[in-house]
Amino acid sequence: MSLQEHLAQQQLLPSTKAQYKSILTRTEGKDPVEWLKERIHARTPIGTVLPYRAAVKHYLLSEQGYTEEELKELLPKAKGRPTAFRHALTPEALATYHAAVEGVPDPSMTILTLLPKTGMRISEICGLQVGDIQNVSGVRALVFRGKRDKQRSIPLTKSAEATLDSYIRTTQPTKWLFTGQMGNPISPHAVRKHTRHIAALHPDLTGLSPHVLRHTYATLLVARGVDLKTIQQLLGHESIETTSRYLHPTITDLAVAAAKLE
């Protein structure tokens, strides 16, 4: 079975399949297992090693005919230095961010406005269809297939609903909610270039990315007293341990805690 056929059978987002194919182009002319070992020995961040290992595994399963059991012995365990710590935006930085987003053209402007209001992954929001906006038990929500083809439902806040309705009235999308080139859904890369540009213009937004906005959504929920299990459902995490990694105190929280010693 070819890699293309193999990936087509997996419950993966199109962006994930594209990422794996891109990774495998770097192994051309090399032993993929040795290439992976070199990345691990170079103390590549664990968040980067994991997709590297997954891509190599899919290649060996499809193109080389290895079994899952054989690969348990053959592939090195995913090790690496911790991924860089991502701070959520402070309320002040978030206000700066929203002001900056107003200068971005649609559909990226609407996507960037919605990210900290929905906590969606960039690949998820870019792949939304018009039919994904639904009324569930009287609640207006985004209902879609997320990571690992898992169905997710995110209730829309009044603010998010107003943003989305304004966009729909103006653009009147038919199939894809956010259309890019050639009538296809907009690519995550097309949106990320705007976060990089905003970060370059605003020093207090250094490191801004769609994933930081996802962290910001989780942090805002914690600040409002939402329990961890509910946040897990909203973020679409399979494990509550994964959710807990998103929920770290801000420097302001730490300062308030330390001040209690006075």
Q: Which residue segments constitute the domains of the chain, with CATH numbers given? A: 3-74 (no CATH), 91-257 (1.10.443.10)
Question: Position 216: which residue type?
Answer: T
Least confident window among 49-53, 144-148, 187-191: 144-148
pLDDT given at position 81? 60
Which one is catalytic: 197, 211, 245, 248? Answer: 211
Peptide bond into 107 cis (omega under 30): yes
Is 43 annotated as catalytic? no
- Whole-angstrom CA distances from 228 to 14, 236, 248 are 29, 12, 12
**pTM exceeds 0.75 for this model:** no
Which one is catalytic: 117, 194, 214, 215? Answer: 214
Question: Does the pLDDT at position 82 exceed 70?
Answer: no
**234: exposed, middle or buried (C-beta count within 10 Å: 0-12, 13-18, 19+)?**
buried
Is 237 annotated as catalytic? yes
pLDDT given at position 178? 96
Question: Does the pLDDT at position 96 exceed 80?
Answer: yes
